Amino acid sequence: MKRTLLLLVAMSLIGNVSFAADYIVDFTRVQDFESMRPLVDSCADFGAMELYKDKMKSSENLKDMRGLFVEIGFGMFNECPDGITGSGISLVK
């Protein structure tokens, strides 16, 4: 419940900021971390996740990073193609 409320607050704040993420990922709701692979492969900007960009791109299985992702909670991916879907992945455009 708290995570859902946090997501709603985060999404409302992002809507009021001058930049917009193409996708927001709630890592706690992602069931298959490989469903994020199109974001990792296709997005130009990883926002605050930029620190982990090289590790994500070189990882053979994003599930190995599950602990880190869940600890972070949310990620924003910018300059991405349309049509990326998966549990926990929300289009913000």
Q: Please state the pTM of the whole predicted model.
A: 0.73
For residue 92, what are its two tokens? 């913000």
Check residue 53 and give its pLDDT.
Answer: 95
Structural domains in the chain (count): 1
Mind giving me the DSSP string for 28-91? TT-S-GGGGHHHHHH-SB-GGGGGGHHHHHH-S-GGGGHHHHHHH-EEEEBS--S----TTEEE
- The model's pLDDT over 40-85, given as tens digits with 9 standing for 90+, comes to 999 999 998 999 999 999 999 999 999 999 999 999 999 998 899 9
Residues 6+ apart with CB under 8 A from 38: 81, 84
The domain containing residue 20 runs over which residues?
2-91
Residue 19: predicted pLDDT: 47
